[in-house]
Structure 1
Amino acid sequence: MAPTEQLNRLHTHDLELGTTDAVQKHITRNVVPPRRVSQRRLDFEHRRPRWVRECIAEATGVFMYVLPGIGAIASFTVNATNPVGSTAFGSLFSIGFAFALGIAFAIITCAPTSGGHFSPAVTICLCIWQGFPLKKVPHYILSQLFGGFIAALVLMGIYHQQLEEMKEVLLAAGKPLVANGAPASVLCSFPNPGQSMGYVFMTEFFCDCFVGLIIWACLDPANPFVSPSLAPLLIGLAYGAMAWAFGANTLTMNMARDFGPRVVAAIFYGREAFSYMNYAAIGIFTSIPATLISSAFYEFVMRDSLSVIGTGHAVHADGDEALVRHITRTTTVEGMEERSGEYKS
Structure 2
Amino acid sequence: QPRLLAPWQKHRRGRARWFVEFVAEALSTFLYTFAGTGSTATYVLGNLLGVQGVGSVLQVGMAYSLGIVLAVIICLPTSNGHANPAFTIWHMLTGNSTSLYIDHNLCHRRTRLIVAQIVGAYVACLLIYVQYHDMIKEAIAGLQAKDLYDSVMFTAQGPGGIFGLYATPGANLGNVFLNEFVCDFVLAVVIFACLDPTNAFSPPVAAPWIIGFTYGIVIWGFSPASLAANSARDVGGRLAVLSLWGLPASGGSYAAIAALTNIPATILGGIFYHFIFTDSDRVLTPASLELLSATKAYEDR
Which TM-score bucket, shorter chain as reference? 0.7 to 0.9
Tell me the secondary structure at the aligned position of residue 182 of structure 1. coil
1:42 is aligned to 2:6: yes
With CA pairs under 8 Å and 6+ residues apart, which has the higher RCO, 1 or 2? 2
1:181 is aligned to 2:181: no
Q: Deviation at 1:63?
A: 0.2
Counterparts of 2:117 and 2:134 in 1: how far apart (Å)? 28
Residues 188-199 of structure 1: matches in 2 within 5 Å? 188-199=164-175
Tell me the secondary structure at the aligned position of residue 54 of structure 1. helix
- 8 Å CA contact 1:99–1:240 kept in 2: the answer is yes
Tell me the secondary structure at the aligned position of residue 154 of structure 2. coil
- 8 Å CA contact 1:166–1:183 kept in 2: the answer is yes
Alignment partner of 1:202 out of 174, 178, 183: 178
1:120 is aligned to 2:85: yes
The residue number in structure 2 matching 1:91 is 56
Tell me the secondary structure at the aligned position of residue 63 of structure 2. helix
The residue number in structure 2 matching 1:295 is 270
Which letter maps to 1:163? I
Which letter maps to 1:101? L
Which letter maps to 2:44? T
* Aligned pairs, number: 275
Deviations 1:198-247 (A, max 9, x none): 00000000000011111100100000011111111111011110001101
The residue number in structure 2 matching 1:258 is 234
1:78 is aligned to 2:45: yes
Which letter maps to 1:229? V
- 8 Å CA contact 1:100–1:240 kept in 2: the answer is yes
The residue number in structure 1 matching 2:114 is 141
Unpaired runs of 5+ residues, structure 2, are 97-102, 294-301
- 8 Å CA contact 1:178–1:269 kept in 2: the answer is no
Q: Deviation at 1:82?
A: 4.4
Counterparts of 1:180 and 1:111 in 2: how far apart (Å)? 30
Tell me the secondary structure at the aligned position of residue 145 of structure 1. helix
Deviations 1:138-160 (A, max 9, x none): 10000000000000011101110
Structure with the greater alpha carbon radius of gyration: 1
- 8 Å CA contact 2:81–2:113 kept in 1: the answer is no
The residue number in structure 2 matching 1:271 is 247
The residue number in structure 1 matching 2:133 is 160
The residue number in structure 2 matching 1:106 is 71
Identity over aligned residues, as a percent?
A: 34
Counterparts of 1:174 and 1:84 in 2: how far apart (Å)? 21
Unpaired runs of 5+ residues, structure 1, are 1-35, 315-345
1:225 is aligned to 2:201: yes
